[in-house]
Chains A and B, each alone.
Chain A
Amino acid sequence: MQTSEPKKLNYLNVEHTVSSWLLTVDHKRIGILYLVSITFMFLIGGLMAATIRTELLTPAGDLMSSDTYNKAFTLHGIVMVFFFLVPSIPATLGNFLLPLMIGAKDLAFPRLNLLSWYVYMVGASIGIFATVTGGLDTGWTLYTPYSTAYATTNVVLPALGIFITGFSSILTGLNFIVTIHKMRAPGLTWFRLPLFIWAHYATSMVMVLATPVIAITVLMVALDRGLGLGIFDPKAGGDPVLFQHLFWFYSHPAVYIMILPAMGVISEVIPCFSKKKIFGYNFIAASSLAIAVLGFLVWGHHLFTTPQSMYAAMAFSIISFAVAVPSAVKTFNWTATMYKGSITLEAPMIYAFGFMGLFLVGGLTGLFLGALGLDLHVHDTYFVVAHFHYIMVGGAIMAYMAGLHFWWPKMTGKMYPEGPAKAAALIIFIGFNLTFFPQFLAGYAGMPRRYHEYPPEFQIFNVLSTAGASVLAIGYMLPLFYLLWSLKYGRAAGPNPWGATGLEWMLDSPPSPHNFDQTPVVTWEPYDYPEAHRRAADDAASEAARA
């Protein structure tokens, strides 16, 4: 054992100045910049959620005015969707891990990567500035002609924020696509890629193809409002429902921007803590692509109550049912991966279990909404609110937490405390269900969404929901404390604390600034835990023989 080994350089300790962070082109540092930024956004969005839930404790609108309430749910939606969920996994974990997982030294365009963070910051800052100085009351959906001609709040500035932030997504997506195509290590064929990479590949396609549509759409809203073009104004021959088609042409695929990377995380975590190959690799990879493609063809299921043609509605309904199949296939494969595994329940696995439970409920309740005749009753009620929170919060954020805990040792070199992490996972799971399950019931009972005041018979559901939100808030605050605590006091993680396969686990934790000293040559299949176990046993045996 050497005693005089110089302190190893890693991407964190290589430089310490502020400018070394703000001008970095290291994908790992940019991932951390995103992590800090979106955590801040999550806190703002969460604060708004707390405001909404407190107001809804009683049927009367007694805490704030209707206008304030309307601004609160609008800010909550815009911040959570555009400034937190869309960049969440891809921009943080994706940025950090993608080059590591494919044996590359960085993304294909490191400067573009930094630019995408700045673009995001500019867009998000404008969005926050606009909502703080006056606010916006259109809902995150910005439906016309309310947003173009009737809202008296500040529509153009937040629209500009969304417009600008969109370019950050496009740049990130483009960077990922090129990197995955051109920078894989020798031997790392497409079917040896981690499923996390497949998921990000599919996500990037959606980002690049769908985001321009929302950019154009909010631009049209701004022009219609500012210059009175009348694109969405029936008095000028425009069509207000056209906006909904354009909006959902992006915003439905955007749900897949949130959930596909989440599925990628789960596909890494479950094999690792089952010490088993993933079941049906090809089918999971193909289902990511199927979801990305079919996801573009279902936007009309948000418009079943609008005067769209009955036959169009039927086409959108049938494709919406079809897109449920690849998600079901993934779920079955994850479950089958655990069969005859060697399962341990560390915190990332608990979070992954939480994801499975909540995503199941979210996905299955989506089927209720795809069924045309049933949707006419539950559309625009709390049933929908519950459904998409199960997918976007229960699914995407649970997986984000699973991923954050799984790769935290890699990102920081430190282990977080296991007990509090498991406790937080359980508290989030319980708090989440208590918050959102009653909303399914409120919705079927007939409570419309975006209601500042509501009839008293819905109060019981709202009281349960608000109680759950308090539990959920505690659950979400806990990781903030113990993860930060671990930066200083956590024990050293070592290169591979979970005994995971994958190139990122062959590196030091935290990795060196340039990731790989020499480009790895990949000769093995992904998730080959049995083989990794045999090799470890052989090494141990030869070690013993030598001694």
Chain B
Amino acid sequence: MLLSLSLFPPQASTNAPEVDALYTFMVALCGLTALGVIAAMTFFAIRYRRRPGNEVGADIHGSTALEIFWTAIPFAILMFVFAWGASLYFKLSRPPADAMEVFVVGKQWMWKIQHMEGRREINTLHVPIGRPVKLTMTSEDVIHAFYVPAFRVKADVVPGRYTTLWFQPTQTGEFHLFCAEYCGTEHSRMGGSIVVMQPAEYEAWLAAAPGSGGGPAPANLTPVEMGKKLFTEKACSTCHQPTPGGVGPVLVGIFGHEVELATGATVKVDEAYIRESILTPLAKVVKGFPPAMPTFGGQLTEEQVMSLVAYVKSLSNAAPPAAAAPAPAPAPTAAAN
């Protein structure tokens, strides 16, 4: 059916059929409701039209029983729809732990993509079929939104913070990538494609030519390697030593754990907290350490911050989740200068 094909985007992720099921249910539910009301109106307009003997309406002022009925029944149905929609959302808010990670930076008007294995691309994202993929995203300028209709997912990409989006492709091929949040002149051209490949093809693609940017050496480094390099260059390693005793906290093994702050509150060490601590270090100082770290806001590109985050993360993983990554996990002792 040509028509039905064009009414739905391709169903290319695990999430897509679930969203389509809710959509189809809603179309049926709302369609029947609308038809019911319109049919009643039409029937009344014909059956009770004015004619001799029907000069005035019956003297009815209402019915409390009916009011309760048509308040309670829609309410109950709507709560069911709420629960259905919320459960889908809940799933989409929690990326699986084993998801493969990709960094995305949006800017007017392009998508810059960095694979953990080192390969970079612009406006195209290559991913393998059948594996959950988690995007960690930020923007260099205005708010954008990463939208893949075939996966039925969308998330805003906001300057100054990380947002995430995950999906698990179920179909190979090329699918639309759109920017869905209005971002200025070329908004409608800020798109590209998601290319879903068989795992073997994907591995071959990863291993092929280095960074598409064709830039100097850093293009060949993985984010972890680049982060490690920056960690030394920016003298982070001076204070953040692999063993206690440094001016700053030890970063080994902290990712994913809670730390206590000077204020007494606790915070979970995740990508957002590491990012914040690099750019505005005094916002959440760890208990027992002086507020001595200089700010790196304005001195690092979003890509550099992301690679530092990747490096700090790698310090907590004996084997990084990006299994195919050629980068060996740096041993804690080797990290020091």
> A residues within 8 Å of B by Cβ?
61, 66-67, 70, 137-139, 141, 143-146, 149-151, 234-235, 237, 239-241, 274-277, 279-283, 304-307, 310, 313-314, 317-318, 321-322, 324-325, 328-329, 331-333, 335-336, 338-345, 353, 356-357, 360-361, 364-365, 367-368, 370-377, 379-381, 441, 444-446, 448-455, 457, 460, 529-530, 533
Query: Are A143 and B85 CB-contacts (below 8 A) given A324-B78, A329-B67?
Result: no
Question: Which of these, B45, B48, B58, B184, contacts A137 with CB under 8 Å?
Answer: B184
Q: Please give the distance in Å from A291's CB to the nearest CB on chain B.
A: 13
Is A339's CB under 8 angstroms from B44's CB?
yes
**Whose C-beta in chain A lies nearest to the C-beta of B298?**
A235
Question: Which of these, A139, A281, A305, contacts B182 with CB under 8 Å?
Answer: A139
Q: Please give the distance in Å from B193's CB to the nearest CB on chain A.
A: 11
| B residues 163-195 touching A (CB-CB < 8 Å) | 163, 176, 178-189
Query: Are A280 and B56 CB-contacts (below 8 A) given A343-B49, A367-B78?
Result: no
Q: Please give the distance in Å from B140's CB to the nearest CB on chain A.
A: 11
Is B37's CB under 8 angstroms from A145's CB?
no
Q: Is B330 an interface residue (CB 8 A)?
A: no
Q: Please give the distance in Å from A278's CB to the nearest CB on chain B.
A: 8
Query: Are A374 and B19 CB-contacts (below 8 A) given A70-B185, A279-B62, A340-B57?
Result: yes
Is A380's CB under 8 angstroms from B145's CB?
yes
Measured between alpha carbons, how far is A371 from B81 in the docked complex, in Å? 7
Query: Are A353 and B41 CB-contacts (below 8 A) given A277-B57, A305-B145, A446-B178?
Result: yes
Which residues in B have their C-beta under 8 angstroms from that of A533?
Answer: 55-56
Question: Which of these, B61, B85, B152, contacts A372 with CB under 8 Å?
Answer: B85
Q: Is B323 an interface residue (CB 8 A)?
A: no
Q: Is B324 an interface residue (CB 8 A)?
A: no
Q: Is B299 an interface residue (CB 8 A)?
A: no
Measured between alpha carbons, how far is A151 from B141 in the docked complex, in Å? 11
Measured between alpha carbons, how far is A2 from B84 in the docked complex, in Å? 72
Query: Are A376 and B92 CB-contacts (below 8 A) given A146-B182, A329-B67, A367-B78?
Result: yes
Measured between alpha carbons, how far is A309 from B90 in the docked complex, in Å? 11
Is A279's CB under 8 angstroms from B187's CB?
no
Is B59's CB under 8 angstroms from A277's CB?
yes
Measured between alpha carbons, how far is A342 from B50 in the docked complex, in Å? 5
Segment with Cβ contacts to A, from B154-162, B246-254, B284-292: B154-162
Is B6's CB under 8 angstroms from A283's CB?
no
Q: Is B74 an interface residue (CB 8 A)?
A: yes
Is B147's CB under 8 angstroms from A342's CB?
no
Which residues in B have their C-beta under 8 angstroms from that of A368?
Answer: 23, 26, 30
Query: Are A341 and B44 CB-contacts (below 8 A) given A328-B74, A365-B30, A533-B56?
Result: yes
Is B50's CB under 8 angstroms from A275's CB?
yes
Interface string of B20-48 (1 = CB under 8 A from A): 00110010001001100110110011001
Query: Are A375 and B85 CB-contacts (below 8 A) given A324-B78, A380-B147?
Result: yes
Measured between alpha carbons, how far is A345 from B89 in the docked complex, in Å? 46
Is B81's CB under 8 angstroms from A367's CB?
yes
Query: Are A283 and B149 CB-contacts (below 8 A) given A338-B48, A339-B48, A445-B9?
Result: no
Is A357's CB under 8 angstroms from B74's CB?
no
Besides A338-B41, A360-B38, 11 other A-B contacts (C-beta < 8 A): A66-B188, A150-B142, A277-B61, A307-B155, A340-B57, A367-B26, A367-B78, A373-B92, A380-B154, A460-B6, A530-B58
Which residues in A have their C-beta under 8 angstroms from that of B108?
Answer: 150
Is B185's CB under 8 angstroms from A275's CB?
no
Is A235's CB under 8 angstroms from B160's CB?
yes
Which residues in A have their C-beta under 8 angstroms from that of B158?
Answer: 234, 240-241, 306-307
Is B159's CB under 8 angstroms from A325's CB?
no
Is B60's CB under 8 angstroms from A339's CB?
yes
Q: Is B143 an interface residue (CB 8 A)?
A: yes
**Whose C-beta in chain A lies nearest to the C-beta of B59?**
A530
Q: Can you list 10 contacts pairing A with B, beta carbon distance less than 8 Å?
A: A280-B63, A317-B86, A322-B78, A328-B70, A339-B60, A341-B44, A342-B57, A376-B154, A377-B152, A453-B189
Q: Is B88 an interface residue (CB 8 A)?
A: yes
Q: Please give the distance in Å from A59's CB to the nearest CB on chain B.
A: 10
Is B159's CB under 8 angstroms from A145's CB?
yes
Which residues in A have their C-beta under 8 angstroms from that of B23?
Answer: 368, 374, 377, 444
